[in-house]
A and B are shown apart, each in its own frame.
Chain A
Amino acid sequence: MRNLATLLFLGGLVFLLAAITGTLPFGHPPMLVGQAIQQAAKPEVGAANVVTAVVLGYRGLDTLGELAILFAAATAGGLVLGGVQAKGRNNALPAAGFVLRAGTDVLFPLLLIAGLYVVIHGHLTPGGGFQGGVILAAAFFLPLLARPSESLSHIWLSVIEGLAGTAFIALGLGALYNGDAFLTPLFDKGMFGELVSSGSLPLLYLAVGLKVGAELSSLLMRLAHDDGAAS
């Protein structure tokens, strides 16, 4: 009976969604805004990666909201799992095997460099603060897997989180000081395609990368610690 209900539900849903989306103009989007942005991005923002121009320039407020959502999730996760240490569940897990530990030692600096590279080149190549931030978080999470008894400092993570978020907003507020609207890109556009170009975008992405990295690390760390190894 339950299987039948599942099947009916599935069939109905497939039919509904297929009927709704079936005739959408796939492959030939109207691109009302997209076209305009493609033409305007080069002179207005100066980032070779148009997606970055959209993420940090045209839709910068979305990105701020997104950072705030990650922050809210990390804070809420802290509220949910925060009580663990207080309960004193202190049975540390044993250290991982040799391969994982040695691999971690080799990978950690490489991941760090790769993450920072992806963050800093976000306005030129595919990648950026979010992608790079995830790599950074992975870099800091690996040692946690290898040596569960050690851990990062929550205080430092929250300081990085707070400062990076503040920096993003401060860069946005800087535009207000100039008399522009919030989040208007600052500084000179520079040479198109150079590393130091497109104004304040690389700085914004650096803040995003640090914040994402710190937040994901602290989320992962809380989840991992609740798995039995409170520091």
Chain B
Amino acid sequence: MSTSVGLVFFIGAIGLCVIGITGIVLSRHLFRMVLALAIAEAGANLLLILAGYRWDAVAPIFTGTAGGQAMVDPVPQAMVLTAIVIGVGVQALALSLVIRIKERYGTLDMQEARQCMQDDLDDAGGVTPSRSRERPAGERPIPAPTVLNSTGGQHD
């Protein structure tokens, strides 16, 4: 029994990591990248929890009745608590950056956003761009003054 159940946990942890990392590396959509990050962090956290798991052991809480029963390792649980909170903070910040990028550059595509950023950096430094641009210099895509309802997702 033990190996098969252990295998399920491991496949879960590694699968989540792989899906998340693949999403971060290969996705171009900013919001999907944030979601992929959340998945990858979940995978890493699951792996960390597994590091402290023991067969036939109970949660590490002293209760009146269960005397002397083996308990799982409390340290990884505390670490995962920390890691989850860190992840939440980072994801919230990433989301707020996504909102701002959409507002400033009018795009949720990583490539386009990077292009705009490079152009802006070149302009700010007074460097003549080495490649042709699709837009004439000085004419940034002015963000449309629309309410960002259509992008959605921030409430989730």
Interface residues of chain A, those whose CB is within 8 Å of chain B, are 5-6, 9-10, 13-14, 17-18, 21-22, 24, 26-29, 31, 33-34, 37-38, 41-42, 48-51, 53-55, 58-59, 62-63, 65-66, 69-70, 72-74, 76-77, 80-81, 89, 91, 124-126, 130, 145, 192-193, 212, 216, 219, 222-224, 226-228
Contacts and interface: CB of A to CB of B under 8 A. Distances in A.
Given A66-B85, A228-B148, A13 B74 contact: no
| B18, B84, B154 interface centre (most CB from chain A within 10 Å) | B18
Interface stretch (B29-37, B96-104, B108-116): B96-104
B18 A77 contact: no
Contact of A72 (B15, B22, B89): B89
B21 interface: yes
A-B pairs with lowest CB-CB distance, top 6: A73-B89, A34-B73, A50-B60, A54-B78, A50-B74, A228-B147
Interface of B: 2, 6, 9-10, 13-15, 17-18, 21-22, 25-26, 47, 50-55, 59-64, 71-75, 77-79, 81-82, 84-86, 88-90, 92-93, 95-97, 99-100, 147-149, 154-155
A53 B71 CA distance: 14
A14 B18 contact: yes
B85 A223 contact: no
A140 B57 CA distance: 37
B148 A227 contact: yes
Contact of B18 (A5, A13, A227): A13
Contacts of A51: 60-61, 74, 77-78, 81
A83 to B, nearest CB: 9
A9 B26 contact: yes
Contact of A38 (B50, B74, B82): B74
A28 B75 contact: no
Contacts of B71: 38, 50
Nearest to A33: B75
Contact of B99 (A13, A63, A126, A223): A223
Interface centre among B13, B14, B64 (most CB of A within 10 A): B14
A6 B54 contact: no
A34 B85 contact: no
Contacts of A50: 60-62, 71, 74
A49 B60 contact: yes
Contacts of B15: 14
Contacts of B21: 13
B54 A28 contact: yes
A54 B74 contact: yes
A28 B96 contact: no
A80 B95 CA distance: 10
B45 to A, nearest CB: 14
A69 B62 contact: no
Nearest to A81: B96
Contacts of B13: 21
A9 B73 contact: no
Given A38-B71, A222-B96, A125 B54 contact: no
A26 B53 contact: yes
A48 B59 CA distance: 11
B143 to A, nearest CB: 11
10 contacts: A26-B6, A28-B55, A48-B62, A65-B82, A66-B86, A73-B88, A76-B96, A219-B92, A223-B99, A226-B148
